[in-house]
Amino acid sequence: MAILIIAEHDNAVLKAATLNTITAASQIGDECHLLVAGSNCSAVAEQGAVVTGVTKVLLVDNSAYEYQLAENTSKLVTELAPSYSHILSAATTTGKNFMPRVAALLDVAQISDIIKIESENTFQRPIYAGNAIATVESLDSIKVITVRGTAFDAATTSDSNAPIETLSIVHDAKVSEFVSEEVAVSERPELTAAKVIISGGRGMGNGENFTLLESVADKLGAAVGASRAAVDAGFVPNDMQVGQTGKIVAPDLYIAVGISGAIQHLAGMKDSKIIVAINKDEDAPIFQVADYGLVADLFEVLPELTDKL
């Protein structure tokens, strides 16, 4: 049976996390359908049609799906589900929001945040902040799965052009409504898509000092992240948080500045290719996972780093 992938998008652009999910789906089976549910979102369907691995795009265009409210999207996906063996979405805040509802409506489990596919019904996923890896076998007829993006390569585009089928299925529960959003605007790359990330922790002292990281980030084309300690202290907003309950990242280069290295933070970045730690405490646990450690006062060395790059 075919696999259904739920596309993440803002009605204009297909989000990168979906490309990783498509790769995961392709490892399970050959027939992969991409559901694009939104409002005035045909551009997203066209972007999905040329992604390698996608064999059909299902386009559902209705104002009920404009903000992908979980109450509506979950009912749409549940209605489509019986034709599929697997339903996959990225383990982003969007996927995490509606997918468990789909699982409950289908009376099946959700396998969250998978990092490896062992077979069509057996998957690996991190538990306990990544301090253990569980291999889980699903006994359900329909597998509802969210996929950790950093564990799978992004699918590329190809010359093929999958057919786009338009469906008119409307589920408008009218029990929830979108009020407003504050989207963080940044010239820098998104955390989950960045090749280089520089993050600050409690050692930054305050929010203003994050400009020291931003100067380095501008030189490297990097994204700026933060530890939970820095978020809890109110230095920076939560959407910058890297860790167990924040964003999971795996860039080529991760520079941790003034971050001690609590297990919750390591859970979000330890799959990075190269880790650099700058901390004045030489016993900080972050040095145990760092490829290159520099024991130094960040306020002295960050301006120097900016100058010399």
Partner 1 sequence: MKILVTVKRVIDYNVKARVKADNSDVDLANTKMALNPFCEIAVEEAIRLKESGAATEVVVVSIGPKACQEQIRTSLALGADRGIQIETDTMPESLNVAKLLAKVVEVEQPGLIIMGKQAIDSDNNQTGQMLAALLDIPQGTFASKVELVDEKVHVTREVDGGLQTVALNMPAIVTTDLRLNEPRYASLPNIMKAKRKPLAVQTPEDLGVQMKTHTQLVKVEAPTERKAGIKVNSIEELIEKLQNEAKVI
Structure tokens at 102: 């789909």
What part of residues 74-113 is at the interface with partner 1 (CB under 8 A)?
74, 92-94, 96-105, 107-113
- Quick one: 32 or 210, whose CB is closer to partner 1? 210
Cα–Cα nearest to 296, from 285, 308, 282: 282
How far are the Cα atoms of 228, 244, 268 from residue 233, in angstroms, in the given order? Answer: 8, 17, 19
Give yes or no for residue 283 binding partner 1 (CB under 8 A): no
Contact set for partner 1, span 29-68 (CB under 8 A): 67
Dist CA 285 CA 229 (whole Å)? 15
Binding mask 16-35 for partner 1 (x = CB under 8 A): --------------------
Q: Does residue 250 belong to the site contacting partner 1 (CB under 8 A)? A: no
Q: Which residue in the block uniquely carries the two structure tokens 């696999």?
A: 3
Among 159, 163, 168, 180, binds partner 1 (CB under 8 A): 180
In angstroms, what is the minimal distance from the CB of 237 to partner 1?
7
- Asked if residue 140 lies in contact with residue 111, where contact means CB atoms within 8 angstroms, the answer is no
Q: Which stretch binds partner 1 (CB under 8 A): 44-52, 154-162, 198-206, 300-308?
A: 300-308
SS3 205: coil
Per the DSSP assignment, residues forming a β-bridge with 223 are 197
Residues in Cβ contact with 185 at an 8 Å cutoff, skipping those fewer than 6 apart: none
Question: Minimum CB separation from partner 1 for residue 43, in Å?
Answer: 18
Give the separation between CA 153 and CA 151, rounded to whole angstroms: 7
Q: How far is the CB of 236 from partner 1 (least distance, A)?
A: 11
| Closest CB 301 distance from partner 1, rounded Å | 5
DSSP conformation class of 131: T
CB of 158 to partner 1, least distance (A): 27
Q: Is 181 a residue that touches partner 1 (CB under 8 A)? A: yes
Q: Are 39 and 66 in contact (CB under 8 A)?
A: yes
| CA distance linking residue 237 with residue 225, whole number of Å | 10
176 C-beta neighbours (distance < 10 Å), count? 11
By CB under 8 A, the residues from 183 to 212 that bind partner 1 are: 183-184, 192, 196
Question: What minimum distance in Å lies between the beta carbon of 229 and partner 1?
Answer: 11
Within 111-140, the residues that bind partner 1 by CB under 8 A are 111-113, 122, 126-140
For the segment 256-275, give every residue that binds partner 1 (CB under 8 A).
263-264, 270, 273-275
Q: Does 214 bind partner 1 (CB under 8 A)?
A: no
